[in-house]
A and B are shown apart, each in its own frame.
Chain A
Amino acid sequence: MSVPARAAALLAAVAAVVGLGVFVAVYYIGSQSTSLPTVRYTASGGQVNVVLQEDPQNNSSSKPDWVSYYVQDPATRQWVHTTLFSVPKDTRVNVTIYGYDGCTPLRNNYWSQVQGTLGGTVSVQQFKKAGKPLGPARNVSVINSWATCSVAHTFAVPSLGLFVPVASPPISLQNNLCGTSPCTPSSGPYSLEKFSFMAPDHGGVWRWQCLIPCGGGYLDGNSGPMQTLGYMMGEMQVVS
């Protein structure tokens, strides 16, 4: 085989290997990013209402025992198993989170502090079940995860400086948590948490995550749902 022919064969082999790698990467990344729907919220009067819930499990077929967030579709009021949502830029985002999962101590109790919300507080109310509050809603700036094991997860957008601990139902009720997702207020004890923050004044994608080590079955609880879109981490898309 001549030198040019050998060089051509070598180049073709390299191109084939590189091409295969790129295809696999694109296919994998594409399958990861396109399988999740994005729930789109539109503003009304300069405000947008985002509704989430976090459950002890989920209704997927592959990882049903992973803890997970859900996002409520504003049009149908149906819960969507995703962690991708979009909000308009420069609007007040009012967030409501239903907390159905039990508590886990924060790895760093610093995250017990509410940061980045309007007013620096969240409104927290716990329920035994629908219509049976365990007390009035209270505005708090700290939910001490280590005091009574009262935090289940967090909702954090680090690049916005937004860190919100999400309260769990009281520990005395946590043997009766919701067992089927998506949960409803009648399916078990829960907490109801409300807070607001301002969306950035420009478009982009902001990562949000949970800072509780809630990846059951993984080293230090750090993997699994903690690092998977659609479960305990997500993206907030800010649109023009």
Chain B
Amino acid sequence: MAAAQNLPAPGPQGHGRAEPRHGLRLFLMWLPMSVAAVAAIWFAWYPHLPPGRMSDAAAGQQFDIAVLSVTAAPVVIGVLLYFVYAIVVWRARPGDDSDGPPIHGHTRIQVWWVLITSAIVMWAFAFGTYELVVPAGAGSGEGPVPIWKLTGTTTPAWAPGTHDMLQVQVIGQQWVWTYRFPQFGGMETTRLDLPEGMPVEFHVTSLDVIHSFWAYQLGVKADANPGVDDVAYATPKQYGSFTVRCNELCGIWHGAMYNYGRVVSPAAFETWAAGVESKERSDGLLAALPPYALVYDPTVIPQLGKQFTKVAGITGANGYYYPGPQAGTTHGDPVSP
């Protein structure tokens, strides 16, 4: 804008006519374009922005993207408009070898420039911070000691129709996700069902390399690191299915490390979870799983109370074996269900 406001007397092409008010021209072009862009973003684009509104975290992210887009659109339009205007209006005409006008700055414009840009940046900072803090981390992993917690009651048993926080442990392993539900006996599944309208506390960890749990439509993303409990929150708000992907390059089949989850009614969720718990208990699987913990050391077998070790000279099975035959086993013992 400085160039527009500090134009010298008309050059060779301007002889005989007054210099137009470039600033006003630009403003009159910028204003309707910005209004149109803001309206298009807010009314047409916003409802379809990813990741959707399947959870409070997702809806918050969608709102954030829309607000920041509305903030950015007038700035982008102003920059591009000025760029195009300058090229068209202030371009050098054929045969014009004269120097451009000497510009020595313009205090008022510079002050406004600093104020406006500072206001935009401070707004983005304040808005972004609020939107991260208030919705309990906005669906992101907050580490083992979350600062911003979702409101809910942490109870050993979960029940529909209450304000109980559902605990879900997400376990990454090359290249499959599994989920444990400590409020349902610590049962584990490959399927992630969640109750609609009830707060969920995810505890994300890994048994081998670094993964990243990304429940896309829920707006939840948290790193899955071995030996680390990464906590994230969300409250599902809409029925339907969502996709869980790994968002951290974790090996050759990283791209295939995904599965699907569903948001169902609280009653349906309870029926499903209790059914899985019952089956795993009767099959003996619950007893075979390690006691529920926030992290696991895969080299420790809790039920045996000891580590398995690598035995030199044994090539099979990676060379890892328990330190000697297990107590109570005899030659020819069948597999133990």
A221 / chain B contacts, CB cutoff of 8 Å? 318, 320
Contact call A110/B289, Cβ cutoff below 8 A: yes
Partner pick for A170 among B176, B209, B322, B329, CB 8 A cutoff: B329
B279-302 contacts to A, CB under 8 A, are: 280, 283-285, 288-290, 298, 301
Q: B64 on the interface (CB 8 Å rule)?
A: no
Contact call B304/A227, Cβ cutoff below 8 A: no
- Distance, CA A140 to CA B290, complexed state (A): 20
Contact call B252/A144, Cβ cutoff below 8 A: no
Q: B95 on the interface (CB 8 Å rule)?
A: no
Q: Which of B17-25, B263-271, B308-316 lies at the interface with chain A?
A: B308-316
Contact call A170/B331, Cβ cutoff below 8 A: yes
- Distance, CA A227 to CA B283, complexed state (A): 31
Q: A88 on the interface (CB 8 Å rule)?
A: no
Q: A140-B337, A142-B288, A209-B175 are in contact. Are A172 and B329 (CB under 8 A)?
A: yes
- Distance, CA A142 to CA B190, complexed state (A): 16
Q: B174 on the interface (CB 8 Å rule)?
A: yes
- Distance, CA A124 to CA B283, complexed state (A): 16
Q: A158 on the interface (CB 8 Å rule)?
A: yes
How big is the B interface, by class? 35 or more
- Distance, CA A132 to CA B176, complexed state (A): 37
A18 → B minimal CB distance (Å): 23
- Distance, CA A135 to CA B288, complexed state (A): 23
How big is the A interface, by class? 35 or more
Q: B325 on the interface (CB 8 Å rule)?
A: yes
Partner pick for A113 among B285, B304, B336, CB 8 A cutoff: B285
Contact call B317/A168, Cβ cutoff below 8 A: yes
Contact call A215/B318, Cβ cutoff below 8 A: yes
B91 → A minimal CB distance (Å): 20
- Distance, CA A142 to CA B286, complexed state (A): 11
Most chain B CB within 10 A, of A57, A103, A147, is at A147
Contact call B188/A110, Cβ cutoff below 8 A: yes
Contact call A102/B321, Cβ cutoff below 8 A: yes
Q: A148-B329, A158-B259, A227-B251 are in contact. Are A108 and B207 (CB under 8 A)?
A: yes
A233 / chain B contacts, CB cutoff of 8 Å? 252-253
B23 → A minimal CB distance (Å): 36
Partner pick for A67 among B285, B318, B325, B329, CB 8 A cutoff: B318
Contact call B176/A134, Cβ cutoff below 8 A: no
Contact call B330/A105, Cβ cutoff below 8 A: no
Q: Which residue of chain B is the closest to A223 with respect to CB atoms? A: B251
Contact call B174/A102, Cβ cutoff below 8 A: no
A226 / chain B contacts, CB cutoff of 8 Å? 174
- Distance, CA A152 to CA B288, complexed state (A): 17
B172-196 contacts to A, CB under 8 A, are: 173-176, 178, 188, 190
Q: A156 on the interface (CB 8 Å rule)?
A: yes
- Distance, CA A122 to CA B207, complexed state (A): 26
Contact call B331/A110, Cβ cutoff below 8 A: no
Contact call B176/A158, Cβ cutoff below 8 A: yes
A148 / chain B contacts, CB cutoff of 8 Å? 326, 329, 333, 335-336
Contact call A177/B316, Cβ cutoff below 8 A: yes
Contact call A146/B333, Cβ cutoff below 8 A: no
Q: List 19 A-B contacts (CB under 8 A).
A: A56-B317, A67-B316, A103-B321, A109-B288, A110-B188, A110-B289, A115-B190, A138-B335, A143-B336, A149-B326, A152-B316, A152-B317, A167-B335, A170-B331, A171-B322, A171-B329, A213-B318, A216-B318, A227-B252
Which 10 A/B pairs are nearest by Cβ-Cβ distance? A56-B316, A104-B317, A147-B336, A134-B332, A102-B316, A150-B335, A107-B298, A216-B318, A221-B318, A140-B337
B residues lining the A interface (CB < 8 Å): 171, 173-176, 178, 188, 190, 207-209, 251-253, 256, 259, 280, 283-285, 288-290, 298, 301, 303-304, 308, 314-322, 325-326, 329-337
